[in-house]
Amino acid sequence: MPTRPRIGITLGDVAGIGPEIVAKALRSGKLDKSFDYEVIGNARTKRRQDAYDWLVVGAQRCLWGDLAALVTAPVTKELVAPFPGQTELLADIAGTKNFAMMLVGGPLRVALVTIHKPLARVPGLITGRRIRNVINLTEDFCHRLGIKRPRIGVAGLNPHAGEGGLLGTEERRIIAPAIKRTRATGPWPADTLFHKAYRGEFDAVVAMYHDQGLAPLKMVAFDTGVNLTLGLPFVRTSPDHGTACDIVGKGIAKPDSMIAAINLAAKLSA
């Protein structure tokens, strides 16, 4: 009897809700039954730093072909230092320079040009090459979902997408020229772009910075959002929430986002 492909699930920071939501997800009966699931980590360890090692092991096993995908429970940023987050650490392990964070939830798919960066630094980090790379990664992802001609909308950086230069020049100098070299459209004012995407007028959105993209997505899919890393040589997803240390041990952590992350990993791996 042929063995089923296996998806690895890291426990994340053991001081957070990772172990709880992983256990609840595995017991839920809602996971894709065409895969086996393996927990990477030890919920009884007292070493929070082990979360880093579990990520490394999971990524390496994906690169070796031992795992079909990797799903990562939340960690605090300090545990993956000097990397800003798990996304950047996994990209480093894989040797990937061209990668992006995407959030999927409800009717929205949102990719980010900049990720975990102070807002004051964002304008200086937005480049034409980076925008084009994220658009292309987003288009590839949509193709994997079976969308033949993805409609991708790109948000501006400034209010009203710069208002023709009155409220900022990044749209005119950087964003618009980058978009012209792709099949995406924009730059659109972010406040109207997400409304259009929610109504189904776009298959995906490219946002310029973290909160610009995550605020609307979490508004419509707070409990079921999934974080996906584009550009890796393996599938990696995670719940779109943090460690929630304030509710650890109370038994009230919801596994919905973890279940959604595991099932998206299974869908993409299939």
Q: Per residue in 1-36, pLDDT tens?
A: 468 999 999 999 999 999 999 999 999 999 999 999
State the pTM of this model: 0.93
Q: Per residue in 61-101, pLDDT tens?
A: 999 999 999 999 999 999 999 999 999 999 999 999 999 99
Q: Label residue 151 exposed, middle or buried (CB < 10 Å: 0-12, 13-18, 19+).
A: middle
CA dist list (Å): 99 to 5, 197, 261: 25, 23, 18
| Token pair listed for 52 | 């880093």
Three-state DSSP class for residue 193: helix
Specify the pLDDT at position 270.
85
Q: Per residue in 211-239, pLDDT tens?
A: 999 999 999 999 999 999 999 999 999 99
Query: 80: which DSSP letter?
Result: G
Instruction: Compute how many other C-beta atoms are within 10 angstroms of the C-beta atom of residue 139.
Output: 20
Q: Find how far residue 227's CA is from the centre of its chain.
A: 3
Q: Per residue in 103-130, pLDDT tens?
A: 999 999 999 999 989 999 999 999 999 9
Contact of 243 with 16, CB cutoff 8 Å: yes
Specify the pLDDT at position 245.
92
Spatial separation of the C-alpha atoms in residues 177 and 39, rounded to whole Å:
45
CA dist list (Å): 114 to 44, 84, 126, 219, 268: 36, 12, 7, 20, 24
Q: Per residue in 136-195, pLDDT tens?
A: 999 999 999 999 999 999 999 999 999 999 999 999 999 999 999 999 999 999 999 999
Query: 146: which DSSP letter?
Result: T
